[in-house]
Amino acid sequence: MNHNVALISGGTSGIGLATAKKLLSQGWNVVISGRSRERGEQALQYLGEIGRTAYVCGDVSRDEDCARMAAATIRRFGRLDGLVTAAGYYEEKLLEQVTPVDIQHMFAVNVYGTMYLCQHCLPYLKSSGGAVVTVSSDAGLQGNIACSVYGATKGAVIAFTKSLALEMAPHDVRVNVVCPGDVKTPLLDRQMAADQTVTEESIKQNYPLYRICTAAEVANAIAFLLSKDASYLTAVALPVDGGLTSW
């Protein structure tokens, strides 16, 4: 049985929670993090693997919280083999509508949070010869309207990931990034609730596969990149987008 250990930021919902479920099914032990302790406890109940899961409350935009997440993982399970940086958020605004505070906050969560957590986990990943999967977006690969700031953060995640992969290659630590399009998550539900013109039907028309991705499908890609089946893949930006970025 596989007893590798993964830390997943943003692990209490959406892609992060689906990834936790997938890795547990493959024998991993999993630590999830998120800002809401209530949602963390609910996520643990949903996962249902007492003894193989743990929750750490924290905000990835705070460096000290990221240090605590990494340390808590080692205290709980004694090692770290996989890191998934799924914490992040999406917001559609034209640049002329965005405030400096908006820009700073989105970079703090989507970019700095990814960097902080990777930095604090690297010593443990070097020891295990582990792997990292960051989470970007189709918007990090190509421009989207009303997504100039969000796209910039996700483009930064891709550039960061590829550079970190080169730094970590001598230590046998692989670093890759997944780039999903729209995914059926609570985040997408909030987006549709905020704009009644956005529906599942209107969204799926943008995709060659003519449907919206599920969180489980992104989780499958992440689990593959963490696995030994992807042992010669590093510095890869993998679209999980139903063909969107080739449309």
Q: What is the pLDDT of residue 1?
A: 55
Longest CA pairwise span in the chain (Å): 53
Q: Is 105 exposed, middle or buried (0-12, 13-18, 19+ CB in 10 A)?
A: middle
Instruction: Convert the pLDDT of each residue in 45-71 to its tens digit.
Output: 999 988 999 999 999 999 999 999 999
150 is an active site residue: yes
Give CA 225 to chain center in angstroms.
13
Percent of the chain's residues with pLDDT above 90: 89
Instruction: Convert the pLDDT of each residue in 148-202 to its tens digit.
Output: 999 999 999 999 999 999 999 999 999 999 999 999 988 788 888 888 888 999 9
CB 142 within 8 A of CB 245: yes
Q: What is the mean pLDDT of residues 29-58?
A: 96
> Class for domain 5-181+214-239, per CATH?
alpha beta
Q: Which of 112, 150, 210, 232 is catalytic?
A: 150
- How many Cβ atoms from other residues are within 10 Å of residue 221's Cβ? 22
Report the distance separating Cα 167 and Cα 116, nearest Å.
Answer: 16
Q: What is the pLDDT of residue 143?
A: 87
All structural domains of the chain with their residue ranges: 5-181+214-239
Q: What is the pLDDT of residue 3?
A: 86
CB 118 within 8 A of CB 63: no
Instruction: Convert the pLDDT of each residue in 213-225 to its tens digit.
Output: 999 999 999 999 9
pLDDT of residue 128 exceeding 70, the answer is yes
